[in-house]
Structure 1
Amino acid sequence: MAVTGIDELPEALLLDILSFLPAINAVRASLVSRRWRNLWRHIPILDFDMSLWLYHSDPPNPLSESREFFAEFVTRTLLLRAHSTPLYSFRLLFNYRDYQRTAIQVNSWVRYAIASGVVVLLLSFEEDMFVKSEADTDEDETWQKYDFHFSYIRNSSVSFLKLNNCQVVWPKSLPCDGFSSLRSLYLDGVFIRDKVLYSVVSSCVNLEFLNLSCISYLRNFKIHSQSLKELELEVFKIHHYKDGGSLDIYAPNLHRISIVRFSLAEYCSRDLSSLVEANVVFSYERHEDVLRLLTDVERLTLLNFCFNRHVWDYVLKVSATEFTSGSSVFKNLKFLELKIRYEEIELLEIAAFLELCPGLETLVLDYYFGSTCQFSESFKRKPLIFRIPNLKQVKMTDYRGSEKELYVVELLKLHKVVLQKIVAFPREANGESSSTPLVLFDSSQ
């Protein structure tokens, strides 16, 4: 029989629909009909977002008042929820203040979620999005990070954990076993000590994915894991120490690494034998040790690599001292993506860089619009040599059809390679690259 109204849908489907809503909206949906009255008590996903409470009125409610009402709503929702219903995901976005009552409340919510078998746990104590209004009178309040004790998830079902703007605590007496369920860990804007990070990563014996972004307190730290397959390091710099910090990586099963403006004085790897793919956005210094980590990868993306003489001298030095004459620095590299301005000096450095990648098959050039200077006549009279004997395909993104781009196309077509195709993705009016490629060269035609 055909369904004529939403009330006739199966209960499982209705619960799926409610699961996409913030908790406050899911509870309000109980007013739709008698059948919906208790549905919210059985949804497996709870999303508590305090920003919905703060800005739902005009003018916004006082911050302290919204926090109090929101905390009461979370507590009552968890008390009235059907405890026999497993909880799959629990997300909390909360304006935390470290006075005793708030700490007790947040701890009770987290423990409830874990006791209910939660698999995905997302805790965010974002500060910047909560701005006080003129009605706020609690000017004496000070920020204090929420302490997330890693012992909370010991012997739990948590597989995916994301923490934002809190402090990670590892009690000294905490055993290192009981964390086998955790497979993905995001730490964003958290405060965590060197030894705590080492304990967390090494104790999560099945951890496959780790993201560290905007971390505080780290200085000379280690990431040692037999199980880790993906590592993302984002936006970090030490300001208060002369040594600039260091990272020691031991991850024999690591498949992919992403380093985005993560600036340290020293990178050291003991075993990255399984590393295949790397994505790098450099800070303005310390390229050298990062490059040393990536010499065996098959896929490499460098989105703001500065081909300056200092860095290039280092690459050539590594090539001369650490590799035999019959080998190359990037001997396994098959895919390379570069952010490029198509300047004269840059093209010269890139030509030399490509000589160290003899097995390269696919080259992606992402146009970074910089100087409008044209090529000099002397540069045009002495064509570059791209030694890329195995190159099969070139993709040019953000293509503008400039003289510089056309010059590179002609160079690629000129030299003896097994080039099959050059395609370009033109820049559209909205600033994005077109999804429809423009074929600049096709060997089959």
Structure 2
Amino acid sequence: MAVTSIDELPEALLLHILSFLPALNAVRASLVSRRWRNLWRHIPILEFDMSLYHSPPNPLSESRDFFAEFVTQTLLLREHSTPLYSFRLVFNHRDFRRTVTRVNSWIRYAIASGVVFLLLSFEEDLFVKSEEDTDEDETWQKYDFHFSYIRDSTVSHLELDNCRIVWPKSLACDGFSSIRSLYLCHVSVRDRVLCSVVSSCVNLEFLSLSCISYLRNFKIHSQSLKELELELFNIRRKDVGSLDIYAPNLHRIIFDRFSVAEYCSRDLSSLVEANVVFLDDGHEDFNCEVLQLLTGVKRLTLMHMRFDRHGWDYLIKVSATKHTSVSSAFKSLKFLELKIEYAEYELFEIAAFLELCPGLETLVLDGYGENDFPLLESFKSKPPIFHFPNLKQVKMRNYRRTEKELYVVELLKLHMVVLQKIVAFPREANGETSAPLVLFDSSQ
């Protein structure tokens, strides 16, 4: 029989639809009809975002109080026998002394309800203040997330934003086997605490660390870890900070503007893919030494690496420390993506870099910048020699058909061995994409 009204849908489907709404909107939906009146009490996904409750010029403190009361009443009136799959909280708790007890009770409720996805964000400056707001009577400090909260819990996915992780020395390291993925952003955590967290989550498969404060030495030892993301961490002093990785089952790693003085890996034998975004701040002290961890990968993406003599010297030094023959440093590499400006000096160093990758099969050149200066005569008289005996495909992104790009195409075709195709993807204009251009096809 055909369904003619949304009220005729099965209750399970209606609950699934309501799960996509923030908690406030889901509760409001109870006014739709008598059948919907108590549906919100059985929703397995709860999302409480304080930004939906704050409307300047109303004072932020009033919005905070209303929000806190709404969360408390929602959890009290919810059907406790209904399992809770996901709990997301975005909250400004500047008046810390008045709110910390409530926040603790909300989190404990979610964990006691068998939550699987737990997402907590305490962004201080997320909300616009009105002229009537004052901080004189408020106390603010980062929320302390006690890792003991999730001991022996069902939490599989944990995201923490703008808080501090507390791990007492007396806390036992067992009981955290449920954790599979962990995201930490703008979190304050000490070296010892991070080491304890990672080593105690014995089934951890995904770890993301972004904008971490107080940390100096990253010790990441995990038998189960498969993906690792390290973002936005840079200590200007070259003699400070270290990264020590032991992850024999790690498949993929991302370094996004992450720089420390010392890199050490015990076992990265399963590493297949790596992405590196270097610091692009105009300084010459960027760190290429991270590449010493990645010489065994099959897929490598390098963004904002300065292919000048400074950077190339670093790369040769790093490669020489890991291999007796520099020419075989990246012998397992099959896919390489580079972000370049097609400057003459870059092309020479990239040609040299390709010699370290004898097994390379796919090369992606992602053009950036607006450098349209004509090629130097000295460059034309002695162009770089590209050596890629196994290269089969070249992709050129953000293609603008400049003189330098066309010249690179000719150089690639000149030194081809098994090259099958060169495809260009034109740069978007006015938000519109153009069809790819086949610049070379050996089958034609």
Paired position in structure 1 for 2:115: 118
1:139 to 1:355, Cα distance in 2 relative to 1, 3 A? same
What TM-score does the superposition give when structure 2 sets the normalisation length? Answer: 0.96
1:173 to 1:36, Cα distance in 2 relative to 1, 3 A? same
Moved more, 326-335 or 336-345: 326-335
In structure 1, what is the Cα distance between the partners aligned to 2:71 and 2:322?
A: 59
Opposite residue 436 of structure 1, the aligned amino acid is A
In structure 1, what is the Cα distance between the partners aligned to 2:326 and 2:72?
A: 67
List alignment gaps of at least 5 residues for structure 2: none
Moved more, 295-304 or 364-373: 364-373
Opposite residue 262 of structure 1, the aligned amino acid is F
2:57 to 55, 60, 63: 60
Opposite residue 275 of structure 1, the aligned amino acid is L
Opposite residue 237 of structure 1, the aligned amino acid is N
Residue 260 (structure 2) pairs with residue 264 (structure 1): yes
Tell me the alpha carbon deviations over residues 81-128 of structure 1, each in whole angstroms, 9 at most, x when there is no partner.
000100000000000135333111000000000000000000000122
2:150 to 132, 148, 153: 153
2:98 to 101, 108, 126: 101
Q: Which aligned pairs between 1:274-353 and structure 2 lie closer than 5 A?
A: 274-283=270-279, 285-320=285-320, 322-325=322-325, 328-353=328-353
* Partner SS for 2:36: coil
* Partner SS for 1:167: strand
Paired position in structure 2 for 1:251: 247
In structure 1, what is the Cα distance between the partners aligned to 2:346 and 2:354?
A: 12
Moved more, 91-100 or 185-194: 91-100
In structure 2, what is the Cα distance between the partners aligned to 1:158 and 1:420?
A: 49
In structure 2, what is the Cα distance between the partners aligned to 1:326 and 1:28?
A: 66
Paired position in structure 1 for 2:439: 440
1:426 to 1:134, Cα distance in 2 relative to 1, 3 A? same
2:50 and 2:64 in contact (8 A); partners too: yes
* Partner SS for 2:328: coil
Residue 357 (structure 2) pairs with residue 357 (structure 1): yes
1:219 to 200, 216, 221: 216
In structure 1, what is the Cα distance between the partners aligned to 2:393 and 2:172?
A: 53
Q: Please state how far the C-alpha of 1:139 moved relative to its aligned partner.
A: 3.4
1:92 and 1:123 in contact (8 A); partners too: yes
Q: Between Structure 1 and Structure 2, how many residues are aligned?
A: 440
What TM-score does the superposition give when structure 1 sets the normalisation length? Answer: 0.96
Opposite residue 169 of structure 1, the aligned amino acid is V
2:156 and 2:178 in contact (8 A); partners too: yes
Q: Please state how far the C-alpha of 1:320 moved relative to its aligned partner.
A: 4.3
In structure 2, what is the Cα distance between the partners aligned to 1:30 and 1:322?
A: 64
Q: Please state how far the C-alpha of 1:130 moved relative to its aligned partner.
A: 1.4
Residue 416 (structure 2) pairs with residue 420 (structure 1): no
2:95 and 2:138 in contact (8 A); partners too: no
Opposite residue 3 of structure 2, the aligned amino acid is V
1:71 to 32, 45, 68: 68
Opposite residue 361 of structure 2, the aligned amino acid is E
Opposite residue 255 of structure 1, the aligned amino acid is H
* Partner SS for 1:12: helix
In structure 2, what is the Cα distance between the partners aligned to 1:416 and 1:339?
A: 22
In structure 2, what is the Cα distance between the partners aligned to 1:91 and 1:70?
A: 14
* Partner SS for 1:310: helix
Of all paired residues, the percent bearing the same amino acid is 79
In structure 1, what is the Cα distance between the partners aligned to 2:326 and 2:397?
A: 34
1:103 to 1:330, Cα distance in 2 relative to 1, 3 A? same
Q: Please state how far the C-alpha of 1:326 moved relative to its aligned partner.
A: 8.9
1:268 and 1:289 in contact (8 A); partners too: no
Q: Please state how far the C-alpha of 1:323 moved relative to its aligned partner.
A: 2.4
